[in-house]
Amino acid sequence: MDDEYAKLIRRMNPPRVVIDNNSCEDATVIQVDSVNKPGILVEVVQVLCDMNLVITKAYISSDGGWLMDVFHVIDQDGNKINDKEVLECIQRSLEIDASFAPSLRGSVGVMPSEEHTGIELSGTDRPGLLSEVSAVLADLHCNVVNAEIWTHNARAAAVVHVTDDFTGGAIKDRERLTMIKELLCNVLQGNNNDVKKAKMTLSPPGVTSRDRRLHQIMLADRDYERVERADLGRLEDKSKRPQVTMLNIEKDYTVVTMRSMDRPKLFFDVVCTLTDMEYVVFHGMVNTGRKEAYQEFYIRHVDGFPISSDAERERVIQCLEAAIERRGCEGLELELCTEDRVGLLSDITRIFRENSLCIKRAEISTKSGKAKDKFYVTDVTGNPVDPKIIDSIRRQIGQTKLLVKHNNSILSPKQPQETTVRHLLGTLFRTRTFQNLLIRSHS
């Protein structure tokens, strides 16, 4: 009865969204006022990210039964949002999705999609793993229509949508699904010394976003636990790791501060991880600049208490570090654009494997018969790939089909200057309190 009453209150008080293009010179300002409910912050941030908006600043305030969030956003090219249709779409999406969308934590009994079968995978990462998985799917006449693959801390996770090559729709035969599960688990298991068991499950669509589901899979797989492996090939550069600190303010809140390199969807990755760990953000701020991001959140556990033990504090720090690192763009970014066909992913990843490339992350998508895939690759030791190898691979696949986008493994010759800038920005952030920024944003 209480839940129905809460739904009625939300329907009577839909979110009020105000979009302002005048108050800030370099960003569009979006203000969302709404009745508070569990998970609404991550839902709002997800709407903005799904529309390919970049959040440069954010101010969060949600004490009591009401919330007020302010976001400074730009498009992928760094410009304000001036297109009237896009602005209307943003307002409409926020007002509808934030008000009536079901919880992103999932529900039981969602019917499978008629268009595709969702597969979730997790296991120990190793060179050539994606090639082996995609080869199995191709042999079983499964066409990969879209997928996202993450690796972090020697673990790998993937959410893959496949169709039946014979029917073009979802795979419904239970015996065939059982065979797919057995063969994929064998591939994921690799050697028998895997401490953590490989998993393959079918995921009902519409339950949660794909990238948020990947966070949940890796969190459950405890990828945040640091492991020492001799075969990683290189020592970890601790200076590149995010800085996460915590401080309790009396008995009211735990204040979490994070400094890291900025990247797309960083804010989303942090808030969805806090939400899935059952922490509530009451106040917060996000500020980005010159490739560095600063985030500060005042949180409590859903039971109403701040973090109370050293063990809990250490676990939250580790999980937030992992949330920031999982989507990090390590390696050389390659983009494949070509006609889609069954077995395409298997053929491309086989070529990568034969040339000793290691896929750190991948985004697979198809639309209207076209495949557009992104791969982030290193050599098998985690170091930058030899340009001659990339030239050879491009000749095999097609110079116009496989493009080199960005190389995040090669350090810029201006690195000492960047380090100085980061230090100055860190000093600047420490002198600006959350309260002053929040007051300024609403003045």
* pLDDT one-digit tens code per residue, 94-113: 987 555 444 433 332 333 46
pLDDT tops 70 at residue 173: yes
On whether both 126 and 211 belong to a single domain, the answer is: yes
Amino acid at 386: D
Asked whether residue 106 is domain-assigned, the answer is no
Q: Which of 68, 101, 134 is the last residue of a domain?
A: 101
What CATH number corresponds to the domain at position 129?
Answer: 3.30.70.260
Q: At 433, is the secondary structure helix, strand, or coil?
A: coil
On whether both 127 and 217 belong to a single domain, the answer is: yes
The answer to whether 184 and 130 have CB atoms below 8 angstroms apart is no
pLDDT digits (tens, 9 = 90+) for 364-393: 999 999 999 999 999 999 899 999 999 999
Sign of CA dihedral 331, 376, 407, 357: positive
pLDDT tops 90 at residue 300: yes
pLDDT digits (tens, 9 = 90+) for 303-361: 999 998 999 999 999 999 999 999 987 789 999 999 999 999 999 999 999 999 999 99
Domain count across the chain: 2
Biggest CA pair distance of the chain: 66
On whether both 334 and 198 belong to a single domain, the answer is: yes
The answer to whether 99 and 131 have CB atoms below 8 angstroms apart is no
Asked whether residue 251 is domain-assigned, the answer is no
Domain that holds residue 32: 1-101
Amino acid at 150: W
On whether both 48 and 75 belong to a single domain, the answer is: yes
User: Crossing angle of helices 266-276/40-50, nearest 10°?
Assistant: 150
Structure tokens at 245: 């600190």
Q: At 378, is the secondary structure helix, strand, or coil?
A: strand
Q: Which of 101, 125, 154 is the last residue of a domain?
A: 101
- The mean pLDDT value for 13-24 works out to 88
Asked whether residue 179 is domain-assigned, the answer is yes
On whether both 222 and 122 belong to a single domain, the answer is: yes
On whether both 24 and 80 belong to a single domain, the answer is: yes
On whether both 159 and 64 belong to a single domain, the answer is: no
Q: What is the pTM of this model?
A: 0.83
On whether both 348 and 391 belong to a single domain, the answer is: yes
On whether both 70 and 134 belong to a single domain, the answer is: no
Asked whether residue 16 is domain-assigned, the answer is yes
Asked whether residue 158 is domain-assigned, the answer is yes
Q: Given pLDDT bands bounded at 50, 70 and 90, which one contains residue 439?
A: very low
Asked whether residue 238 is domain-assigned, the answer is no
pLDDT tops 90 at residue 286: yes
Asked whether residue 381 is domain-assigned, the answer is yes
Distance between CA atoms of 398 and 394, rounded to whole angstroms? 5
pLDDT tops 60 at residue 411: no
The angle formed by the CA atoms of residues 38, 303 and 110, to the nearest 5 degrees, is 40
pLDDT at 12: 56
- The mean pLDDT value for 404-432 works out to 43
pLDDT at 428: 36
Instruction: Strand 66-74: give its sheet, edge to edge.
Output: 16-20, 28-35, 66-74, 54-61, 279-289, 292-301, 253-261, 243-249
pLDDT at 9: 52
Would you give the DSSP letter of residue 106? -
How much is the mean pLDDT over the chain?
Answer: 83
pLDDT at 207: 58
pLDDT at 110: 33
On whether both 8 and 32 belong to a single domain, the answer is: yes
Residue with the bigger pLDDT between 65 and 23: it is 23
On whether both 166 and 73 belong to a single domain, the answer is: no
Asked whether residue 129 is domain-assigned, the answer is yes
- Going along 291-347, which residue ranges are E strands? 292-301, 332-339
On whether both 89 and 189 belong to a single domain, the answer is: no
Number of alpha carbons in the 13 Å side-chain half-sphere of residue 283: 14
The answer to whether 340 and 369 have CB atoms below 8 angstroms apart is yes
Backbone angles phi, psi at 295, to 5 degrees: -130, 140
